[in-house]
């Protein structure tokens, strides 16, 4: 038997034939007495011709497991012997499904060892092997990320698209972690726990996340950002969990792809209500702001914060709350305390001027104070931001009541104070602007199609 094992290591087919000629039952004897058949040895050492000769005489050897629980295909795939893998596939394509003691198939081993050519061979022979999971519930994608074999992660995703199995990117392992959880964890762990950043690991993890989050549109649609693992954590929770100063690049990618923390997932259920408000899809547009890319969100916040501050300053000082008595007996420039709605809207004196001024300021304030919470919804300091905005809104209401001259607007049988009339005007103005903007966008999208169709 030692001579046969030596021949298998060297791939000496001539010696094999001589041994078989001397003892026709040699291969049968080694099956009974040895815990490793000749194909195991020759596959491990990449002896293609020897494997072919043995398979022609004993094809059943290809499915046997050795003392460590590995088949010849496992050994050839892990060792990177492409020609041996081809010989084994010629004998039986179903060797792709043989599992070792841990439930690993040859595809798992090829992925673990970054044998990309062999990955292609195995998936070409049996595409269904991509769906096989280990005993820990890990797919070949999990293993690629877990063991930092992500140099060609984009190629693995291309295979998923060819096989129409994009759903595997959302497949949880035994601990509920998806590929996104693992890639986020690996990057953060290397940087903040090990305290030494392996450049290759860091680069590969960033590339993996970029590939997942900025890949083909169909794949991005299938990617579920906010799956929770067994510990109840999303990928964004994992991102913040390891360090109080997480990697900014990874954070921007996760936030830009509409990642949420587990505590914020209730907001994401509003997606189901996206079209329940029939007026131009208002709910859908609010959700688009909540989940817009982080770059756009930051620009809008930078613009809205100064606008809010300017509106607060304007309402605090445009009018004198204690206007002097005029020589002609008029109080604060107002000839009387009652105005018809036609006079106010038609530009009659100070009443009309101050109505339009305050309505414009209030409309701007309403828009800015309404959009800011949506844009800040996924930020870590959301609660303090909402408290500041609520305080600003209350202050604005009291400041406007204090600074706005008081008069009554007559509208048929109704008597409306100037304070509430301004709020009605601001709401009307904001809604009208919203309708006009949507109409303009609709025309911009439709007219060119009509002209060039």
pLDDT tens figures, 243-296? 555 566 777 778 777 788 887 775 444 444 333 333 344 445 555 555 555 667
Mean pLDDT, rounded, for 304-311:
84
Give the rounded percent of residues in the chain with a pLDDT score beyond 90: 21
Domain boundaries defined on the chain: 1-132, 297-452
Task: Indicate if the pLDDT at residue 439 is higher than 90.
Answer: no
Nearest to 16 by CA among 51, 60, 61, 64: 51
Neighbours of 36 (CB within 10 A): 19
Instruction: Give me the count of residues in the chain.
Output: 453
pLDDT tens figures, 168-210? 888 899 889 998 888 888 765 554 443 444 444 444 556 677 6
Give Cα separations from 130 to 112, 120, 149, 217 (angstroms): 14, 11, 16, 22
- Run of H or E including 409: strand 408-411
The residue behind tokens 């877990």 is 146
Task: Indicate if the pLDDT at residue 400 is higher than 80.
Answer: yes
Task: Indicate if the pLDDT at residue 379 is higher than 70.
Answer: no
The reported pLDDT for the residue numbered 289 is 58
The answer to pTM > 0.85 is: no
The reported pLDDT for the residue numbered 125 is 94
Q: How far apart, in whole angstroms, are the C-alpha atoms of residue 95 and residue 89? A: 7
Quick check: helix, strand or coil at residue 415? strand
The reported pLDDT for the residue numbered 327 is 39
Is residue 146 within 8 Å of residue 152, measured between CB atoms?
no
pLDDT band, very low/low/confident/very high, at 232 (cuts 50, 70, 90): confident
Quick check: helix, strand or coil at residue 405? coil
pLDDT tens figures, 99-153? 999 999 999 999 999 899 999 999 999 999 999 999 999 999 999 888 877 667 7
DSSP for 207-244, please give it. Answer: HHHHHHHSS-HHHHHH--TT---TTS--HHHHHHHS-S
Q: How far apart, in whole angstroms, are the C-alpha atoms of residue 242 and residue 239? A: 7
CATH topology of domain 1-132: 1.25.40
């Amino acid at each position: 038997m030692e001579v046969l094992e030596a021949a298998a290591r060297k791939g000496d087919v001539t010696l094999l034939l001589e041994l078989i000629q001397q003892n026709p039952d040699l291969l049968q004897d080694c099956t009974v007495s040895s815990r490793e058949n000749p194909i195991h040895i020759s596959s491990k050492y990449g002896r293609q011709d020897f494997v072919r000769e043995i398979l022609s005489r004993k094809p059943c050897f290809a499915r046997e497991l050795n003392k460590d629980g590995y088949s010849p295909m496992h050994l050839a795939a892990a060792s990177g012997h492409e020609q041996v893998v081809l010989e084994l596939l010629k004998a039986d394509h179903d060797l792709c499904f043989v599992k070792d003691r841990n439930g690993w198939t040859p595809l798992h081993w090829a992925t673990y060892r970054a044998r990309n050519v062999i990955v292609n061979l195995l998936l070409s022979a049996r595409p269904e092997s991509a769906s096989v999971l280990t005993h820990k519930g890990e797919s070949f994608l999990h293993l690629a990320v877990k063991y930092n074999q992500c140099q060609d992660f984009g190629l693995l995703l291309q295979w998923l698209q060819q096989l129409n199995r994009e759903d595997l990117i959302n497949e949880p392992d035994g601990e509920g972690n998806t590929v996104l959880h693992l890639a986020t964890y690996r990057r953060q762990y290397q940087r903040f726990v090990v305290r030494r950043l392996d450049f290759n690991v860091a680069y590969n993890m960033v590339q993996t996340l970029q590939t997942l989050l900025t890949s083909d549109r169909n794949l991005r649609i299938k990617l579920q950002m906010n799956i929770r693992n067994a510990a109840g954590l999303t990928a964004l929770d994992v991102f913040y969990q390891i360090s109080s100063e997480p990697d900014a690049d990874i954070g921007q990618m996760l936030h830009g792809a509409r990642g949420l923390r587990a505590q914020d997932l209730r907001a994401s259920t509003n997606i189901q209500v996206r079209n329940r408000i029939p007026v131009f899809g208002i709910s859908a547009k609010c959700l688009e702001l909540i989940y817009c890319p982080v770059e756009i969100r930051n620009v809008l916040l930078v613009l809205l914060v100064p606008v809010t501050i300017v509106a607060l300053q304007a309402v605090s000082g445009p009018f004198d709350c204690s206007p002097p008595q005029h020589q002609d007996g008029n109080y604060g420039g107002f000839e009387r305390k009652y105005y018809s709605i036609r006079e106010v809207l038609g530009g009659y004196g100070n009443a009309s001027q101050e109505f339009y001024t305050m309505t414009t300021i209030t409309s701007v304030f309403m828009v800015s104070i309404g959009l800011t919470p949506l844009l800040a919804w996924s930020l870590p300091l959301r609660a303090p931001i909402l408290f500041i905005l609520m305080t600003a809104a209350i202050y604005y209401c009291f400041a406007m009541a204090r600074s706005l001259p008081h008069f009554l607007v007559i509208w048929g049988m109704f008597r409306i104070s100037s304070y509430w009339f301004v709020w009605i005007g601001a709401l009307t103005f904001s809604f009208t602007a919203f309708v006009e903007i949507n109409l303009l966008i609709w025309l911009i999208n439709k007219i060119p199609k009509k002209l060039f169709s």
